[in-house]
Amino acid sequence: MDIIDVTTLLDVPELQESFLGFVAVTDCDREKIFPGMEVSTRSNGETFRVKIEEVNGQELVGKVLQTEFYFDQPFGFLDWIRFEKKNVIDIFTIYGVDY
């Protein structure tokens, strides 16, 4: 299994400092992320979902759930990507139950 280190993801807390109206989960909520959750993040202007498979401190590894992308991305459907909790915009599910 190859894991793609993605560096094009949005830094959510940094964006929230600049644009107070940007809606995202809190840092406290991001700390509660665990394997099995689905989260959203954004790369190159495109928001997509990832199913979290591993959590190592601030580092997350997950599978991309989006099947189509409209912009060039360094990953595709079902690719494993590595990113950070600060890149998470929203949390959608915990084992299939809406969060």
Distance, in Å, from the CA atom of 35 to the CA atom of 45, rounded to the nearest integer, reads 25
Q: Which residues pair with 43 in a beta bridge?
A: 9, 46
Distance, in Å, from the CA atom of 81 to the CA atom of 60, rounded to the nearest integer, reads 8
Residues in the chain, how many?
Answer: 99
Average pLDDT on 73-88 reads 97
Distance, in Å, from the CA atom of 2 to the CA atom of 96, rounded to the nearest integer, reads 26
Better-predicted residue by pLDDT, 57 or 99:
57
Is 0.85 topped by the overall pTM? yes
* Per-residue pLDDT tens over the stretch 28-64: 999 999 999 999 999 999 999 999 999 999 999 999 9
> What's the pLDDT at 92?
87
Distance of CA 72 to the CA centre of its chain: 17
Average pLDDT on 3-16 reads 94
Domains in the chain with CATH codes: 3-98 (2.30.30)
